[in-house]
Amino acid sequence: MGLRELGEFGLIHRIRGRVRPGSGVIQGIGDDCAMTQITPGWTSLSTVDMLIEGIHFDRSYTPPYLLGRKSLSVNVSDIAACGGVPRHVLLGIALPPGIDTPFIDQFMDGFLAVCDEEGVTLIGGDTCSSRGGVVISVTLLGEQRPERVVRRAGARPCDLIVVSGSIGDSAVGLQLLRQGERDPAHPCIARHLDPTPRTRLGLILAGECRVSAMIDISDGLLADLGHILTSSGVGARLDTRAIPLSPLARSEAIRIGIDPLVPPLTGGEDYELLFTLPPSEERSLEPISRELSLPLTVIGSIQEGEGITLTDGDTPISPPRLAAGYDHFREVHL
């Protein structure tokens, strides 16, 4: 069935029929506003991210199921970066005439699968037609005890800089997709199309570990570390040899003629967590890493001053030819 036959309200009805009741929901889809209850005394965390066809995704190589997953995962990653618990979500979608019902159904399959995995309930949204491409806007609400919320500001000189998992894989995956590779099981492509938000890690770091600042890597290590540094009024030294790039991302980068340092430094969309903590807390990393089966790698330290000094172990090096992460109004990437 096409969207013309289904109509706006038919589509909303179809979405509503698939949503399971969730905790804290007083009124979900169906009224002028959703009504929710947050845990008394906790701070509400709100984040919105838009995904625009042609800017953030290309429908020719993005299966609708994975697009649905990623639309929510990138928002969950922002809540994780504040150490929060994701809870309720609003979904805005604008669809051009060519979109059919299977596209929407598969998109919702992916979106609702991540809702289940993350304990999030869809409580409302907006549905429109589009004269351009597909536009998705996801607003995610989460919460955390006020004293546990972790911000970008808070990094202090001598703090260690730590990153979870491996970074650069997603940018290599994107480059492979742009060059015509289509295997969704290729680990770099999978990382790009279906990133894993580090919700559990964010919660543990906020609760059990004295992390001083945190951000998720959406725009590349240099840009996102830069955000921590400017918010905190400090500088940093980064040991490029310590940056956790997976062996496959390294070999694929070399194969397609990219300096292997460029994807992790400027690529973005890894959705790993980047955080700082005092050196005395370093010993708490090992048990957390073991519990989550997720590497946590110290890649540098916070310094007085400003800016990022790249080093090769001890010696400062000049950066490879880099763009500065993704800036929507400058259109630079890799």
Binding site for Mg ion (CB under 5 A): 126
**Is 15 near ligand ADP (CB under 6 A)?**
yes
Nearer residue to Mg ion within complex by CB, 33 or 185: 33
* Residue of 32, 147, 314, 331 interacting with ligand ADP (CB under 6 A): 32
Question: What is the rounded radius of gyration, in angstroms, for the C-alpha atoms of the chain?
Answer: 20
Contact 99, 3 (CB under 8 A): yes
Spatial neighbors of 5 by CB under 8 A, at least 6 apart, are none
Residue 274 belongs to what H/E stretch?
strand 273-277
**Nearer of residues 73 and 121 to ligand ADP, judged by Cβ:** 121
Single out the residue of 64, 110, 125, 154 in contact with ligand ADP (rule: CB under 6 A). Answer: 125
Query: In what helix (H) or strand (E) does residue 171 lie, and over which residues does it extend?
Result: helix 169-178
Q: Which two tokens stand for residue 153?
A: 């500001």
Q: Which does 124 bind (CB under 5 to 8 A by kind): ligand ADP, Mg ion, none?
A: ligand ADP
In terms of residues, how long is the chain? Answer: 334
Binding site partner of 122, from Mg ion, ligand ADP, none, Cβ cut-off 5-8 A by kind: ligand ADP
Encoded amino acid at 49, one letter: D
Pick out residues in 64-123 that bind ligand ADP (CB under 6 A). Answer: 91, 93, 122
Q: Closer CB to ligand ADP, residue 93 or residue 163?
A: 93
Q: Which is nearer to Mg ion, 123 or 243 (CB)?
A: 123
Q: For residue 71, which of 96, 83, 89 has the smallest C-alpha distance?
A: 89
Phi, psi of 240 (to 5 degrees): -65, -25
Q: Which does 279 bind (CB under 5 to 8 A by kind): Mg ion, ligand ADP, none?
A: none
| Residue numbers at the binding site for ligand ADP (CB under 6 A) | 12, 15, 29-32, 91, 93, 122, 124-127
